[in-house]
Chain A
Amino acid sequence: MAGPQVKVIVLRTAGTNCDREMVFAFSSLGAAVELVHINRLFSREVRLSDFHILAIPGGFTYGDDIMSGRILANELRIRLSEEIKDFVHEGKLILGVCNGFQVLVRAGILPGSKSSSGNLTFQQTVSLSNNDSGKFEDRWVHLRLSGDSVWTKGLDEMMYVPIAHAEGKFVVPNEETLSQLKKNNQIAFRYCNTDGEKGGYPVNPNGSIDDIAGITDPTGRILGMMPHPERHFSPLNHPAWTRKDHLSHLGQGANIFLNGVRYAREQLLGKTQVAVAKG
């Protein structure tokens, strides 16, 4: 066996459906990944503290009934709040993609308001609502990188990845919230055209304010995004790969996972007692 591995928990529950490709992305990059049903966290059969990275994949948890991600968000907020507080407090990483982003936002983990004692308050302060088009859409979008996050460090200025959602319009309650996000460098990705510039629909596919496609918490260790980096993990996922002369080793989305695993390896391994893998 090689030395200690970065341990990733990919969380799933009823309606999670982008879990396999998320597991594939992390494990292809050398992480030890466990796909865990939330009931196993509730029962304490699996402990969040045993992992370095928590990933919440896309899907339609609980059917997105009432609103996307709300029921899972409440489960995290109400039944796992202590574990999550500790996880965040220890400087570990969280990634939420699509429905996972919606969950993080509705649980108040992103953008992450904290109490004076520095603990997460689990208050929802921004939102993701129905696309202006009023429908679910699967399409590829260009993203322009901004912010300051361990997840996006060293990435190219632009990234090409697909979205697939009906509720991805990023909304803030007021100007102040938006300027806070900007000030804290919390905006990770913005939708843009092929030249990296602002554009209307479908460049901004859902009507998000300030073209926001993904945000981080103030530390940059928690990233949530509507587009799916795991769906551009292989260069063969690119919609026009047949037009290219040669293909790169990995797709553009892979770098996000690479960053996460690398950071965890360099910064978190050794700091945590890694429990012996069960069964």
Chain B
Amino acid sequence: MSADQRESRAEPAAWRVEISEKPDAFDALGERVHKDVLDLGFKNIHRVGVVQVYTILGAVSQTEIEKISRELLADPVTQDYRFFSNQKAPNVKNQRVKIVEIAYLPGVMDPVEESTLKGIRDLGVAQVKAIRTARQYHLHGNVSKQQCGIIVEKVLYNKLIQRVIEQGQALARELPTKKTSSFTVQMIDLLGANERDLQKISQKGQLFLNEDEMKAIQKHFRGLKRNPSDCELETIAQTWSEHCYHKTFRGKIDFEYREQGKVKRQRINNLLKSTIIKATQELNKPWCVSVFHDNAGIIEFDEEWNVCFKVETHNHPSALEPFGGANTGIGGVIRDILGTGLGARPICNTDVFCFASPDYPEDQLPAGTLHPKRVMKGVVSGVRDYGNKMGIPTINGAILFDKDYVGNPLVYCGTVGIIPKGKEHKKVNPGDLVVVVGGKTGRDGIHGATFSSGELTEDSEVISSGAVQIGNPIEEKKVADVLLQGRDRELFTAVTDCGAGGLSSAVGEMGKDLGARVDLEKVPLKYEGLSYTEIWISESQERMVLSVSPTKVNELLALFASENVEATAIGTFTDSKRLELFFNGCQVCDVDMEFLHDGIPQITKKAVWTPAKLQEKSHPCPENLTEKLGEVLSHYNVCSKEWVIRQYDHEVQGGSVIKPLVGLRSDGPSDASVILPILGTKRGIAVANGINPRFGKIDPFWMAASCIDEAARQIIAVGGSVDRIAILDNFCWGNPDKPDRLGSLVRAAQGCYRTAVDYGTPFISGKDSLYNEYTQGVKSIAIPGTLLISAIGIIENVLHCVSMDLKEEGNLVYVVGATHDELGGSIYLDTYGSLGKNVPQVNARMAIKTFQALSLAVKNGLVASIHDCSEGGIAAALAEMAFSGGRGITARADQIPYTGKVKRDDIVLFSESNSRFLVEVTKSYQQKFETLLAGVPFAAFGRVEKSPEFIVYGLQQEVCIAADIQDLKEQWKRPLAF
């Protein structure tokens, strides 16, 4: 170990410690970065080394810094350390190594700082004031300045949260500005403002309020004969934002559509209530415990427990900073679960992403966007970091690719929780204290709620950088641990998470019917210098708000303190029906709750739906479809996602029953995943997702129907029952102020209503993220309207569960459900670059019949494996079953029940018709199985073989696909094995 020890008279005010791998140790992190550098084509860089840098501020002696380095910062076996008594990096002159040092921007959350401070105090060194960390990259090779710039930009940092530290530059934390003792309440001149002024005020303040809304606010304050304070205006903007209020779904819509050549008009008063919620109300399932009014929907699990489920989106932040965006996205949805009822325990996560293709040409990227591959890697890392550290298994998900996600990737994060019966309702009482718990408040994420309610532009990254954050999962884990103890000890009567809109949103919502008074100076801050408005609207992560009776507050504060979690009473719920905020005794906000929550002017939006003019393109059907099957299997939407799945801990909590990867070699694609929430019991939960934006390009109604069918049939495929499936809607759309975008949204919502009612699957919660458009100059790229249906099913006895891998030679393989001439939106047509027109529809009556018959067959132990037919049709599903089970197959396409007039091998084998399954059955159960399926189209069309050959005979009874299952598997596994 070496140490650059300089003589110093007094103890220096700062030290710099560098930690590097010993010369003979393998630098895994450096290797990973090197791989990304090689991906850029820079073969001249032959190695990348990583050095961790800590700057330690405080009067620490050399003996102490030596101890800190040796006992805390460096591993004695694998690492070396050296330290410098001034915090500047030494200048290194070496032609062959280019050194780049990256640090977080001041104010950006660096969780390592807090733990390091703790670690130093544990060593008995108390005088350290602050820590700053950085990472040095040593690029070995003859690196040109230009190359270095590209590497920094594309691999090493994101300028929204990080900066490059020049050699010799100090890394010290900019010491926080002193608290100013005097401040003035900023009043916004609204009373005298004309229309243009109003627009300016909204724009300048990043309020994203439209003209009508600004006028309504003006009118309200004119009535009060005073101007609003900045804080009041911000509070209203947050509450009224699309993100918090869902103006589009709750507003009025004039809908114009064509039916049988005629233009029809419909006035929709509230899209949410007239479609999604209406379906749930009509179904009126007794096992729906709490729907659409809490953070998550709650359904019954067993006699003792309920389960809740919520899926959120975090698209805009993930576009700008993929790691941080996805990180805080998953953190946010976990808090939704912690804040459901009186607090639920998270038991699993599910994540669905949409990106542009990982091989999107670099030179065609719209200005200001990150490359999709980088976005994907960042998003996966962000989810991995938060989910794994929280100890919540990520058990299911999907990743889809379409070029139009280039400016707006979609990141859906979902969490399921379990909560004891009787804890599902919350109640705030006047006189209860407002207690904020968890992380401290900083300038993080100011304007997140309003920011996500507007379109992204190439300037977004500059204007909205405050909206980008990094999460601290361990803080949230601490909150979760102690919050649930507090719930069981009945120490609070209500809880909600601080998400978008921060305290403003959480306290405003909890005190909606009563009123609340908050003293903002009591809020614990990360650093001094925040204005009262910043404290109020900050979206710092890992915070929750509780309502606590004064008789319980001491016990509650002691409980939180016992596990080192911050908890502070910051105000009181009142019965004034007003939101009153004070800062150092001075009132900064006094808004009527009724105006705040119901004063938003009702707007009417225009929506138009015209079916796309599409044609069913005719490609000649290739005689041999083997190559086409390979193309379909290696299509990014179909291929293996193992690279992603293995980075997620999908087994923590010990209840994993059907994993995301199944089969002989644990690498086959499971349909739904199943977990046991209560260890030692047999009752399980299945989670699945249905998503298919390609269908939506043809008709959003049938996309919605197909998504519900897909989510439900995946749960059936593992052994669930259609009687106990609840679903969630999640709409990600373009700008709803454009009538065509809104028209397709309406059409999708109508599909949701119709199908949910017909299938008997109630919606229990949902979410929408609109304005997913990327504007560059005059051009606007809208995402394809994307609906995610997430499903949760209760499995009575997990011992009956089945997986999708073929089990034993000699078994029969059935296709259950009819195939139609429905190649529209299929992966097969996509391999030709076309979309088609015949989008898959659903026949609800037949679907239910099929689902019920199969559930019964599973329950009776008649089936060896089941796989649902989705993207890639029968051919892809059959191939997946074969290579996952390490078994060959012989199948006959002419046996497949098919209703189309056009008889072609490719249509039959690659059509993506709904409500179909492939089922493996032992011959001895043939008769029993077929009896159960009476009235459902089915056929035994294949046989499991011992030899690893995959043989399909076409309609003309000649071989149309012949392949080795290993080759098929290889083609399926390769594309996303980064």
* Chain A residues at the B interface, C-beta cutoff of 8 Å: 12, 14-18, 20-21, 24, 28, 37, 39-40, 58-60, 62-67, 70-71, 74-75, 78-79, 106, 124-127, 129-140, 162, 164, 169, 171-173, 207, 228, 230-231, 233-234, 236-237, 239-240, 242-243, 247
Contact B28 A74 (CB under 8 A): no
Q: How far is the CA of A237 from the CA of B122 in the complex (A)?
A: 39
Stretch among B419-427, B657-665, B875-883 lining the A interface: B657-665
In the complex, what residues of B have CB within 8 A of residue A14's CB? 474, 477-478, 563-564
In angstroms, how far is the closest chain B Cβ from the Cβ of A20? 6
Q: How far is the CA of A164 from the CA of B646 in the complex (A)?
A: 9
B76 contacts A by Cβ under 8 Å: yes
In angstroms, how far is the closest chain B Cβ from the Cβ of A118? 23
Q: How far is the CA of A136 from the CA of B652 in the complex (A)?
A: 13
Contact A20 B77 (CB under 8 A): no
Contact A231 B654 (CB under 8 A): yes
Q: How far is the CA of A106 from the CA of B663 in the complex (A)?
A: 37
Among residues 378 to 426 in chain B, which have CB atoms less than 8 Å away from a CB atom of chain A?
384, 388-391
Q: Which of A39, A63, A133 contacts B562 (CB 8 A)?
A: A39
Contact B474 A138 (CB under 8 A): no
In angstroms, how far is the closest chain A Cβ from the Cβ of B202? 40
Q: Which of A28, A60, A173, A239 contacts B474 (CB 8 A)?
A: A60
Contact A66 B649 (CB under 8 A): no
Q: How far is the CA of A71 from the CA of B28 in the complex (A)?
A: 22
Contact A134 B31 (CB under 8 A): yes
Q: Which of A15, A78, A162, A239 contacts B477 (CB 8 A)?
A: A15
In angstroms, how far is the closest chain B Cβ from the Cβ of A155? 20
Given A67-B75, A132-B28, A173-B77, A138 contacting B666 (CB threshold 8 A): no
18 contacts between A and B (CB under 8 A): A14-B477, A18-B652, A21-B679, A63-B112, A67-B75, A71-B118, A71-B119, A74-B122, A129-B28, A132-B26, A136-B649, A138-B649, A139-B646, A169-B28, A234-B679, A239-B666, A240-B663, A242-B801
In the complex, what residues of B have CB within 8 A of residue A18's CB? 391, 652-654
Q: How far is the CA of A272 from the CA of B650 in the complex (A)?
A: 40
Total cross-chain contacts (CB, 8 A): 186
Contact A65 B115 (CB under 8 A): yes
Q: How far is the CA of A40 from the CA of B564 in the complex (A)?
A: 12
In angstroms, how far is the closest chain B Cβ from the Cβ of A162? 6
Contact B72 A171 (CB under 8 A): no
B517 contacts A by Cβ under 8 Å: no
Stretch among B207-215, B275-283, B332-340, B802-810 lining the A interface: B802-810
Contact A79 B122 (CB under 8 A): yes
In angstroms, how far is the closest chain A Cβ from the Cβ of B138? 16
Highest count of chain B CB atoms <10 Å: which of A18, A20, A106, A134: A134
Q: Which of B31, B564, B666, B680 contacts A39 (CB 8 A)?
A: B564
In angstroms, how far is the closest chain A Cβ from the Cβ of B860? 16
Given A66-B112, A130-B29, A171-B25, A37 contacting B562 (CB threshold 8 A): yes
B651 contacts A by Cβ under 8 Å: yes
In angstroms, how far is the closest chain A Cβ from the Cβ of B488? 14
Among residues 936 to 956 in chain B, which have CB atoms less than 8 Å away from a CB atom of chain A?
none
Contact B647 A136 (CB under 8 A): yes
Among residues 636 to 651 in chain B, which have CB atoms less than 8 Å away from a CB atom of chain A?
645-651
Contact B646 A137 (CB under 8 A): yes
Contact B25 A129 (CB under 8 A): yes
Among residues 452 to 500 in chain B, which have CB atoms less than 8 Å away from a CB atom of chain A?
472-474, 477-478, 481
Q: Which of A37, A162, A242 contacts B563 (CB 8 A)?
A: A37
Given A28-B680, A62-B118, A173-B77, A242 contacting B662 (CB threshold 8 A): yes
Q: Which of A15, A106, A162, A240 contacts B651 (CB 8 A)?
A: A162
Q: Which of B28, B116, B384 contacts A130 (CB 8 A)?
A: B28
Q: How far is the CA of A133 from the CA of B977 in the complex (A)?
A: 13
In angstroms, how far is the closest chain B Cβ from the Cβ of A176? 13
B342 contacts A by Cβ under 8 Å: no
In the complex, what residues of B have CB within 8 A of residue A133's CB? 28
Q: How far is the CA of A277 from the CA of B455 in the complex (A)?
A: 60
Given A14-B478, A164-B649, A134 contacting B654 (CB threshold 8 A): no
Given A124-B76, A130-B28, A243-B807, A237 contacting B474 (CB threshold 8 A): no
Known: A237-B657, A239-B662. 15 other contacts (CB 8 A): A15-B477, A63-B115, A71-B118, A124-B75, A124-B77, A132-B28, A136-B649, A138-B646, A138-B649, A139-B666, A164-B388, A171-B77, A231-B656, A243-B807, A243-B885
Contact A240 B389 (CB under 8 A): no
Contact B649 A134 (CB under 8 A): no
Given A231-B654, A233-B654, A17 contacting B477 (CB threshold 8 A): yes
Contact B118 A134 (CB under 8 A): no
B216 contacts A by Cβ under 8 Å: no
Contact B654 A230 (CB under 8 A): yes
Contact A74 B72 (CB under 8 A): yes
Q: Which of B119, B388, B478, B885 contacts A74 (CB 8 A)?
A: B119
Contact A17 B390 (CB under 8 A): yes
Contact A21 B119 (CB under 8 A): no
Contact A242 B803 (CB under 8 A): yes
Q: How far is the CA of A65 from the CA of B645 in the complex (A)?
A: 23
In angstroms, how far is the closest chain A Cβ from the Cβ of B487? 16
Given A126-B77, A135-B32, A207 contacting B26 (CB threshold 8 A): yes
Contact B78 A75 (CB under 8 A): no
In angstroms, how far is the closest chain B Cβ from the Cβ of A253? 10
B268 contacts A by Cβ under 8 Å: no
Contact B680 A65 (CB under 8 A): no
Contact B389 A15 (CB under 8 A): yes
In the complex, what residues of B have CB within 8 A of residue A60's CB? 388-389, 391, 473-474
Q: How far is the CA of A63 from the CA of B656 in the complex (A)?
A: 24
